[in-house]
Amino acid sequence: MAKIKTSYFCQSCGYESAKWLGKCPSCQQWNTFVEEIIEKPNAAVPDWKNTGSTTQQRANKAVAVHDITVHEELRYVTPDGEFNRVLGGGIVAGSLILIGGEPGIGKSTLMLQLALNMPKLKVLYVSGEESEKQIKMRAERLATAPQPSKGGANDADPTSAPPLGSGGAGCFILTETSTQNIFKQIEQLEPQLVVIDSIQTLHSSHIESTPGSVSQVRECTAELLRFAKESGTPVILIGHITKDGMIAGPKILEHMVDTVLQFEGDRHHVYRILRAVKNRFGSASELGIYEMLGVGLREVSNPSEILLSQRDEPLSGITISATLEGLRPMLIETQALVSTSPYGTPQRSATGFDTRRMNMLLAVLEKRCGFRLGAKDVFLNITGGIRVEDPAIDLGLAAAIISSHEDMPIPFKTCFAGELGLSGEIRAVNRVEQRIAEAQKLGFERIFISKYNLPSAKQDKHQRIDLSRYTIEIIPVASIEEVFSLLFG
């Protein structure tokens, strides 16, 4: 009788070892190795794998780059505009998409809503966590399609929306965890889109380990990847995440798929963010914003309005910054609080912003402007629950810190777009015209930008910024000292 082959896997990163180790040499975690059976003797090959025998027999040959013919990839445009934007224009045929997020954040709701709202496609929704009755109850709750929101929770009536996807006529539900049975149903149904909820619940018969283990997740993903590439059918996988916020399973799982999406947000708030972490068919810096309602997820078409609070009186430490998420310009509210530290060591805290960059801004303000911030507690906050890495908000954050330190509010209808250098200079930012246009559209009266963003004689005429077409007042600045004198005199 053949001996069963076993190996040890790290449950944190997927590192494989022939023997048990106390500490993983890859991720440096302790006591994470478990023994798993790699392959059962005489394991039967699934029937669907034999369908690609002709491709296995064909020998690949080296081809010159200029001889390769390139065709535009086929994309399925979904009714969800935010989902299309994050993917780069729609779902690419034959692609493998992985969506991760915290439990209860709305991953299954988003995917079921997408499956029900595509009547022109035959969609197979495979669930290994819920029964058919549970999915039916959720589908009835999603029977009213949320309309795209302009930014507020009260600007649309969800009950007046049209029916969702003609009752989900093209959506088929399968509650199964065996990949062999799933592929048999796929062969009979021949769907155009497959949704797996979730990849941690699937198991393959020729891998003798528990569902959710490293070897099972890797093998099931490999089978789905081969099916997607051979048949040209896009597959969407829903994945769990660990307590550290990373997608559960081996790290190789993220390398195998074409697109990795992260569904973020606080379950106690109504807004959700769909962020592209990896995308082989589009930009990996796009962002989609949703509003969670009782009837499902509603698209937020103008996020600037929900990220800006409505204030009746001016308050110190609050500024508006123009940022870019992918190709979408947004105006966000940046808040700062500077207070005297009651203890010997001052506190430094930033929400939605890099703490190390905040320390750099404080050092520049203390060195170049003379503000004594070494003994002050400084707290920064990016409203809306989003995290911003755009350096163009440096100028707005620096103005908010100065405003809170001096307890002098920034004038209304003023926004900022500029990067702050170590010598106190205001550096130019990319696509400043889109930021100016967004500020003008939302009714702002003036915007501070770097003077190096202004047109110069050295620039080509096609690269110059046409300032005459803007009604908003554009104030070019060169240093942080100049900004301070213009704002506070």
Whole-model pTM: value is 0.76
Q: Please tell us whether the domain made up of 75-301 is placed in CATH 3.40.50.300.
A: yes
Fold of 306-488: Ribosomal Protein S5; domain 2 (3.30.230)
In this prediction, residues 435-442 reach a mean pLDDT of 91
How high is the pLDDT of residue 7?
84
In this prediction, residues 460-479 reach a mean pLDDT of 76
Binding region: 101-108
How high is the pLDDT of residue 56?
45
Selection from 39-43, 63-67, 456-460 with the highest mean pLDDT? 63-67
Q: Express each pLDDT in 332-341 by its tens digit.
A: 999 999 998 8
Q: What are phi and psi of 362, to 5 degrees?
A: -65, -40
Q: What are phi and psi of 41, to 5 degrees?
A: -60, 140
How high is the pLDDT of residue 36?
78
Binding region for ATP: 101-108
Q: What does each C-alpha distance from 125 to 16, 212, 296, 327, 364 come to in angstroms?
A: 32, 19, 17, 31, 54
Extents of the domains making up the chain: 5-39, 75-301, 306-488
Confidence of residue 144 (pLDDT cuts 50, 70, 90): low
Angstrom distance (rounded) from CA 381 to CA 24: 37
Q: Express each pLDDT in 202-235 by its tens digit.
A: 998 877 777 887 888 888 999 999 999 999 999 9
Average predicted confidence (pLDDT) for the chain: 83
Task: Report the percent of the chain where pLDDT is more than 90.
Answer: 44
Angstrom distance (rounded) from CA 148 to CA 407: 39
- Span of 260-269, 306-315, 420-429 with lowest mean pLDDT: 306-315
The pair of structure tokens assigned to 337 is 């609080």
How high is the pLDDT of residue 418?
95
Angstrom distance (rounded) from CA 227 to CA 235: 9
Angstrom distance (rounded) from CA 365 to CA 483: 12
CB burial of residue 212 (10 Å; 0-12, 13-18, 19+):
middle
Residues near 125 by beta carbon (within 8 Å), at least 6 away in sequence: 111, 112, 115, 135, 171, 172, 173, 174, 195, 197
Q: Express each pLDDT in 119-142 by its tens digit.
A: 888 999 999 989 999 999 988 888
Confidence of residue 193 (pLDDT cuts 50, 70, 90): very high
Yes or no: say if 351 and 461 are a contact pair by the CB < 8 Å rule: no
The reply to whether domains 75-301 and 306-488 share a CATH topology is no
